[in-house]
């Protein structure tokens, strides 16, 4: 009976993924894959195992069990493409007791002050720059996370996501998704599995276009968008980490993560259909748990040059961190784009505790 259920589930999953790949965009809700916290970004997003603070609400909710205060807050701001796009993150985490914790996170990626030129030409065919208006295109997510330790070395966690995406007054969508995570520790080895959009995330889009806008779209050969659903397919992240002590003052942590995507072929190290694998690795060297130096390698891609030769490119990231009296200040030099363009940005993030106290 169990074997029959497993076979039925595999057949259903394969059929669903095949249908969804043909009816959904490949990079849906991609702003939720950028990452949060300068520590993790410096480590090339290799963070689902070792993260144990308020940012765990994003990376792996089980890490919230590492919060050692009544409340912990996290903030991050970064800008990309010469300040055109702004990426902001804020979160708060709370320990409920020695075996459970919760968090609430807000993530926004937006481009503001975009000129709307659909009304630039009046009914007489004259150009009137006073008819230009401005709008914002923004992606917003609210994430509610919970973690529970069920055994000494085993923890479970999950997140519920509410997503709102807007393009001025022209288009908007609401979506809902579920994440699930598991973490296991054996001595100094740690393992984790993070399932994002594990049930698939559905965004319901609606469009409000004026007659003038529809006319402009038609005259310029643009497709007129229709109301409908946008599906984000599941992504499974596997992680393993190992920590080392170097003398009395230094520690070293290394973590390897592998993203398993289910939306067909991607330009990553291991290309498959429907599954592709994107490995990335990070490290952290700490001194007396006060100063940290971090680095990582990820975004492995195959790039075809003008001469037709194919080369393998990687994206290195670096960063540092300082912890003083319950306040963490982290910095990362990282790139959210294509590795070949090397458009690096400076990212700062902060974490601080309210009424810090260790829970036994």
Q: Does the pLDDT at position 150 exceed 90?
A: yes
CATH code at 2-356: 2.40.160.40
Give the highest mean pLDDT range of 220-224, 248-252, 332-336, 354-358.
248-252
Average confidence (pLDDT) over 139-162: 95
Q: Does the pLDDT at position 339 exceed 70?
A: no
Average confidence (pLDDT) over 104-108: 97
- pTM of the predicted protein model: 0.83
Range 224-238 burial, b when 16+ CB lie within 10 A, else e: eeeeeebbbbbbbbb
Q: Does the pLDDT at position 225 exceed 80?
A: no
Looking at residue 17, its pLDDT comes to 47
Read off φ and ψ for residue 57, nearest 5 degrees.
Answer: -60, -25
How is the chain split into domains, by residue range? 2-356
Residue 328: pLDDT band by 50, 70, 90 thresholds? very high
Residue 344: pLDDT band by 50, 70, 90 thresholds? confident
Looking at residue 322, its pLDDT comes to 96
Q: Does the pLDDT at position 147 exceed 70?
A: yes
Looking at residue 10, its pLDDT comes to 42
Q: Does the pLDDT at position 120 exceed 90?
A: no
Residues 6+ apart with CB under 8 A from 210: 118
CA distance 294 to 265: 31
């Amino acid at each position: 009976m169990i074997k029959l259920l497993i076979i039925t589930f595999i057949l259903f999953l394969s059929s669903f993924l095949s249908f969804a790949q043909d009816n959904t965009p490949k990079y849906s809700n991609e702003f939720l894959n950028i990452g949060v916290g300068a520590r993790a970004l410096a480590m090339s997003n290799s963070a689902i195992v070792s993260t144990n603070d308020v940012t765990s609400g994003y990376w792996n909710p089980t890490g919230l069990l590492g919060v050692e205060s009544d409340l912990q807050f996290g903030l991050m701001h970064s800008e990309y493409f010469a300040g055109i796009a702004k990426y902001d993150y804020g979160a708060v985490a709370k320990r409920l007791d020695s075996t459970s914790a919760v968090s609430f996170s807000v993530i926004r990626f937006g481009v503001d002050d975009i000129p709307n030129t659909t009304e630039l030409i009046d009914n007489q065919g004259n150009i009137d720059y006073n008819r230009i208006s401005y709008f914002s295109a923004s992606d917003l997510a609210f994430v509610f996370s919970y973690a529970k330790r069920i055994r000494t070395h085993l923890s479970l966690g999950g997140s519920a996501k509410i997503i709102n995406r807007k393009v001025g007054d022209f288009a908007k969508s609401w979506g809902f998704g579920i994440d699930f995570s598991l973490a296991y520790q054996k001595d100094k080895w740690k393992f984790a599995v993070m399932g994002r959009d594990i049930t698939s995330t559905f965004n319901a889009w609606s469009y409000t276009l004026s007659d003038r806008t529809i006319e402009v779209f038609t005259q310029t050969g643009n497709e007129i968008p229709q109301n409908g659903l946008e599906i984000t397919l599941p992504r499974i992240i596997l992680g393993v980490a190992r920590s080392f002590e170097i003398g009395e003052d230094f520690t070293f942590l290394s973590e390897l993560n592998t993203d398993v995507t289910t939306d067909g072929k991607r330009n990553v190290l291991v290309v498959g259909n429907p599954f592709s694998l994107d490995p990335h690795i990070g490290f952290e060297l700490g001194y007396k748990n006060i100063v940290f130096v971090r680095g990582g390698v990820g975004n492995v891609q195959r790039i075809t040059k003008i001469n037709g030769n194919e080369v393998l490119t990687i994206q290195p990231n670096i960063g540092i961190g300082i912890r003083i009296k319950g306040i963490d200040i982290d910095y990362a030099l990282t790139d959210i784009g294509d590795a070949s363009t090397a458009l690096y940005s400076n990212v700062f993030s902060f974490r601080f505790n309210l009424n810090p106290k260790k829970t036994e």
